[in-house]
Structure 1
């Protein structure tokens, strides 16, 4: 399977902070329990490794005031064309920001760096990268699908290992409160996940509910990791856009006779591929939501534009509107957005802001909660299924 990585791109003129950004970012990543080899650092020397099919965050290091010798413009043009997240960083104050960056970055918000607050600003840069990649635990959702009577030991082992590697893991025996409607909560949690791990034991497809979980995971465009037990020939039909199959061997288990817990080697391989598929799924689901919205808008005669923050802007009924795609279930964090985008909203004084989401498998109580938020906040929610009617209203 092709390995997908999070791409941290550093372009422009390094004024002594490039290595420091990478070092602090790496430390934060490892503190979160995320494997560092899930990332690739790209600059002008290895830009041929860049791909638009994996998440990317670009930092452009601007020149000094009145120095128009901007570097890496071809690479920068490609990154902006792909609507990758991008943060310009300049020396000194922001008063001369436009003089220190290429013209195509004039609409971007940037960060200024001076010696007095150097450490604080580098931390801010690193925080922006973490937000851009959705690397905080609350955003890294994994759903484990299994049959309790066949693979509980491995399911619990994976739950504990994934938690240590910075994932927020859903396992029904550990994650559902006794008072919750069981199946509704399962679908709701799956809708908020990015990856589904299927423990494909001998009778996994013998259950109606495990079949449903597989079907819904495909419907939601989730990444799927199918872990099949040794000598297991029960084929799982693969309708997923992004998936990874792994056939275990008897030697992968601590006790092959009873198929107990997994040894370290196959466990590490699973974690590595979950991270890779998560990177690819994150980019794919966001792009799918965006492309569906833009297609619907164009069919109704609107022009919708995708900007540098992967935010959609358009004019509807004479009003400037921005639409913020939210992968998974919209929460208050989607409404708050990232610090960079909040500043952009303030600067342009947008008053019509919508959070775009897919309501598939979202529980009724959460949809009611979104309606309540709509009545309480300037920012409104917008279900992708309701977009045609909304465009004509």
Structure 2
């Protein structure tokens, strides 16, 4: 993931709502959200079109083409109720999947989209759910299904492991390939060898942790830097929770993803410097460069694929060697072999800093 660290612009169109919450959520990311001034066009901005009433169906922007913005993928529609989409959103944007934000609690959904659009947040939306089955099976399944509805890709061992594979090897790989580790901290979590192994692996990878702490559960040193949500009541194996609680958990996740990514980025950069102690943080990107400025390194927060190579290849010019670096501690052997094959045919390389 590569991005220049300059002020990004979000232009608000239509009838904006929850703007105070949006601006507050973006304040730590060098992103400015402002309403459109007629006649001013910013080529590298993201335009956000709010449909809040029938008058937003037919806007009058004399110097702005919504159709052109849609064609360039520079605009996204926002609406409170998706049932009102065709009544409140202009026809030029009818082909674009809208983001629904019913209340200010869901502003993190838009925040994550904006961060991903500008390359400030990785687009990997894999979430690893670690839980003790006998404590909270139904809640884990409820959370899994709700994350899917929120456009995440959760991993739950009872759903997500293919038939005929090495269970633990597959699980370890999926954990290392996830963006966030959700830790369902229940009273008997430590009674399982496997759940404790997952938490320890998460620490070795230095992933961001969202801890959902159940009354009666203990504190773990392994989760001392986690983002924490405290469940208001105890949980049993067959108990589910109100939709508002699930909403609040996902809202906390979305508002904390950048913070958790920063935690992992620092860990990766420290590991890179242990291999190449002379690298220097690049002032214009979130990468690093050699003292000779002939090599650049960019962090990859998951198990890399060819698209990651393509993303950073734009910085490979004039003989500059560009390398992505990642933590492949628990990468499956077949995937590792594929990455090595890609390294052999691509000018961009991927470096496993654990090797």
For the residues of structure 2 that align with 1:336 and 1:21, how far apart are their CA atoms? 35
How many equivalent pairs are there?
A: 290
In the alignment, does 2:344 pair up with 1:375? Answer: yes
Aligned counterparts, 1:121-270, within 5 A: 123-124=73-74, 130=117, 132-134=119-121, 136=123, 139-230=124-215, 232=216, 234-240=217-223, 242-250=225-233, 260-270=239-249
Aligned counterparts, 1:349-360, within 5 A: 349-360=318-329
Aligned partner of residue 367 in structure 1, secondary structure: helix
Unmatched segments (≥5 aa) in structure 2: 35-41, 46-62, 77-113
Aligned partner of residue 123 in structure 1, secondary structure: coil
Contact 1:222/1:240, CA 8 A, preserved across alignment: no
C-alpha spacing 1:135/1:343, structure 2 compared with 1 (3 Å): closer
C-alpha spacing 1:40/1:308, structure 2 compared with 1 (3 Å): farther
For residue 216 of structure 1, report the CA deviation from its aligned partner.
1.2
C-alpha spacing 1:349/1:247, structure 2 compared with 1 (3 Å): same
For residue 235 of structure 1, report the CA deviation from its aligned partner.
1.1
Of 259, 273, 283, which residue of structure 1 is paired with 2:252? Answer: 273
In the alignment, does 2:86 pair up with 1:119? Answer: no
For the residues of structure 2 that align with 1:279 and 1:38, how far apart are their CA atoms? 19
Unmatched segments (≥5 aa) in structure 1: 1-6, 12-16, 27-35, 61-86, 91-112, 387-393
Contact 2:208/2:264, CA 8 A, preserved across alignment: no
For residue 221 of structure 1, report the CA deviation from its aligned partner.
1.6
Aligned partner of residue 132 in structure 1, secondary structure: coil
For residue 223 of structure 1, report the CA deviation from its aligned partner.
2.1
For residue 154 of structure 1, report the CA deviation from its aligned partner.
0.7
Q: Deviations over 1:231-282 (max 9, x none)?
A: x2x41313336313334344x87xx8x7511112221221122223322111
Alignment RMSD (CA, Å): 3.9
Q: TM-score, normalised by structure 1?
A: 0.62
Of 266, 274, 289, which residue of structure 2 is paired with 1:287? Answer: 266
C-alpha spacing 1:188/1:226, structure 2 compared with 1 (3 Å): same
Aligned partner of residue 224 in structure 1, secondary structure: strand
For the residues of structure 1 that align with 2:336 and 2:329, how far apart are their CA atoms? 11
Residue 326 of structure 1 is matched in structure 2 by 300
C-alpha spacing 1:39/1:169, structure 2 compared with 1 (3 Å): farther
